[in-house]
Each structure stands twice: as C-alpha cells, then as structure tokens.
Amino acid sequence: MSLLCQPPPHYSCTIALALTYSCSLVLTPRSTSFAPSRDGDVLTTWNATYTGSNTWPAGGADPSKPEGHPYRRTQFGKAGFTMSFEGTVLWLCLRSNGAGYHLSVDGAAQTSIGVVEELCKDYLDAEPDMRPDTVIVTQDLEPGRHSAVLDVSASPQNEFRFWGGGIVMRVPTAGHVIDEVEIDDQADGWVFSPASGDQAWKASTGVSGMYQNTATSNCVYGAGITAAYRFKDAAGLILKGHAWSQSRAFGVQLDNQLTGMYATTSWDDGAAVFFVSGSLDPSRSHTITLINFNTEDNDCPARRGEPCCIGFDSIILLRAGTDLLPCA
C-alpha cells in the first residue's frame, strides 16, 4: 500500500518585474505600489530596466525591444514599495550595493537570509556585478493576504537593485495533485462590457509570447469597462495580463473583493501575471473581473495626457487532479 500525504499541497510561483517565464506560472507584482513612483529617473525614483538594454525608453530606446532580465533600480535616498500578496512564504531577491534597506511583513521586521543560488537562480545568468547577491525570506505566515513594505535609502554611489522574488501559497485540493487549466482570452465564457461599439474590447491575434498568441485589450478608461469570467471546481487561479507602454491603472475583482493595481511600464513587457488567489471553495461558483479603472486614480487619461489601457492573456484555474499527492 502506498503512503499518501493528507495535508493540501503548496503551490509555488515566481515573481518577475516583467514577465519572463522561468516556470509555468510567474507572479508579477502589479499589486505593488512603488514610491515615489513606479518608473522614472533613477536619481529621483525607481527605474524599470533590463540587463541587456543600456538606454531607458524615456531616454530614446525602443520600448518594444527590451533585452535580458528585467529589474528595478534606484539611487534615490528615500524610495520603497508596498506589496500585497497571498501566501505563507515570501522571498525577495536584491542587490543593495551598500544602500540601506529594511523589509517588514505585516509590520514585523524581516531579516532572515536565504540561499541566493536556490531562490534567485533564474537571475544568476546576469553579469556578476549586476545579479542579486542577497535574498530575504519570510516563512511560516498564516494562509491569506499579507502586506510587505520595503524601505530603501540609496545614492548614486550605492544603487539598489530589486530583481523580484517568489511566494508559496496554499491551494486546498484534499491531498490531490494540482491540475492547471488555462483559458484563453478569446475562449467562450468571457463576458465583455461594452460588448460592441467604439468602446468595445479589442481582440488581437499573432501576439508573440502570449497563450495561443492572442490578447484582448481596451484603452477606454472607466468603471464600466470590464471583462468577466465565471468558473467553478477551482481552488485557485492566476490572471495573466499583457503589459506594454500604454498600460496603466486597473482593478481586479474576485467575487466581491476589489483590488486596485498598476501595470505602468516604459517597456513592452509582454505577458505578466496580474493576480493570484488560492484557498477558493471549489464547490462554489466564482467570478473574476478585469476592470480598466482604479478607484485610486479616477482621472488617469487626463492626468497623463494619453490613453490608459489594459490588456489580458488568459486565466489559469488550479483544480484538484485525479491523482493523489504521494509523500516525498
């Protein structure tokens, strides 16, 4: 008789600042609020860049052609970010270069250091003087949503670089393996509002790097611009988005819980995981809704003087498979 595990398995994802798949699912911190801003001059805020692109798009580079690994850097004396996440473990990969920093999760300081070669291995093919050399690990969190706050004190001589990290979240499957069911943006079942007319969502084909090479987007900013999908028999889900230079503020609503997010980037980042949730009740029906509006940014187009767009690629439903999870 085979010995079988009784507790539900864990589901591990990886954070990337702009999506570069190193495993089947990558968590992008779109629920992260960067201060003073998400992307700008490295001397005064965070700067989104790639290891193989020497020029920031605002300085003249082609935003559609980033090369290498994405990361964020700052030389500002008072920078940081706040990140909302769901999981029991969090790790962040960084290179401080002598800059000061402090991480707290749910108000508690975090100082535990992990093994870079294990947790940050996806970034280790970057140049030796650029790649992450430190990973901070937070473990044994209660299942559910948490808040991480990173404060940074950098300078032109001590540039701080944030590469990403990862989470582990619980997905209740009663001891069964997890089956991933990916549903394309152009599959049956999506309900778009508006469904037609000048403000309707636009479907695109031949989009490289996307599931089935398709994506759906809308550049009309407003609370009524929505794409919704109703599902059942899933214990968790991943909403995969599309981030490019016109992506801005947006919202994701799972059932009755609304979360404001930002997809702002100077690059054509491509596929990006917008939202992750576990611990869903598979016996209930759930609805995931993408909204081209963020209640914390009511006047996005007027303030920026340009369209505020959002796009998405697919959703991945995490379901209990037929096979039981064997003990290691």
Q: Give 205-242 pLDDT, tens digit per residue.
A: 999 889 999 999 999 999 999 999 999 999 889 899 99
Are residue 209 and residue 150 in the same domain, yes or no? no
pLDDT score recorded for residue 26: 37
Residue 75 has pLDDT above 90, yes or no: yes
Domain CATH for 262? 2.60.120.260
Closest CA to 215 of 246, 237, 175: 246
Mean pLDDT score, 171-184: 85
Are residue 199 and residue 97 in the same domain, yes or no? no
C-alpha pair distances (Å), 109 with each of 73, 106, 115: 22, 9, 19
136, part of any domain: yes
3, part of any domain: no
pLDDT score recorded for residue 292: 98
Are residue 84 and residue 31 in the same domain, yes or no? yes
Residues 6+ apart with CB under 8 A from 72: 17, 34, 39, 46, 47, 48, 49, 161, 162
Mean pLDDT score, 286-312: 93
Are residue 100 and residue 183 in the same domain, yes or no? no
Are residue 209 and residue 152 in the same domain, yes or no? no
Are residue 140 and residue 198 in the same domain, yes or no? no
Centre a 10 Å sphere on the Cβ of residue 188 and count the other Cβ atoms it contains. 6
pLDDT score recorded for residue 14: 52
Residue 94 has pLDDT above 70, yes or no: yes
| Residue 248 pLDDT grade (very low, low, confident, very high; cuts 50, 70, 90) | very high
Distance, C-alpha 75 to centroid of its chain:
24
pLDDT score recorded for residue 271: 85
The rounded mean pLDDT for the chain is 86
Task: Write the pLDDT tens digit of every residue in 5-48.
Answer: 344 445 555 544 432 222 223 334 566 788 998 888 999 999 98
pLDDT score recorded for residue 3: 37
Residues 6+ apart with CB under 8 A from 265: 18, 38, 39, 48, 243, 244, 245, 247
Last residue of a domain, one of 170, 197, 231: 170
Residue 197 has pLDDT above 60, yes or no: yes
As a whole-number percent, the residues of the chain with pLDDT over 70 amount to 89
5, part of any domain: no
pTM: 0.86
pLDDT score recorded for residue 5: 36
Are residue 53 and residue 166 in the same domain, yes or no? yes
Mean pLDDT score, 53-81: 86
200, part of any domain: yes
pLDDT score recorded for residue 31: 62
Look at the chain and count its residues.
328
Return the higher-pLDDT residue of 303 and 99: 99
Are residue 34 and residue 100 in the same domain, yes or no? yes
DSSP 66-100: --S-EEEEE--SSEEEEEEEESSEEEEEEE-TT-E
Are residue 74 and residue 165 in the same domain, yes or no? yes
Are residue 118 and residue 235 in the same domain, yes or no? no
Last residue of a domain, one of 124, 154, 170: 170
Are residue 187 and residue 141 in the same domain, yes or no? no
Number of structural domains, the chain? 2
Residue 251 has pLDDT above 60, yes or no: yes
Mean pLDDT score, 117-133: 88
121, part of any domain: yes
Least confident of 183-192, 195-204, 312-321: 312-321
Mean pLDDT score, 313-320: 92
255, part of any domain: yes
228, part of any domain: yes
Last residue of a domain, one of 170, 189, 223: 170
Residue range(s) defining the domain that contains residue 94: 10-170
1, part of any domain: no
d(CA 67, CA 127): 13
Are residue 15 and residue 154 in the same domain, yes or no? yes
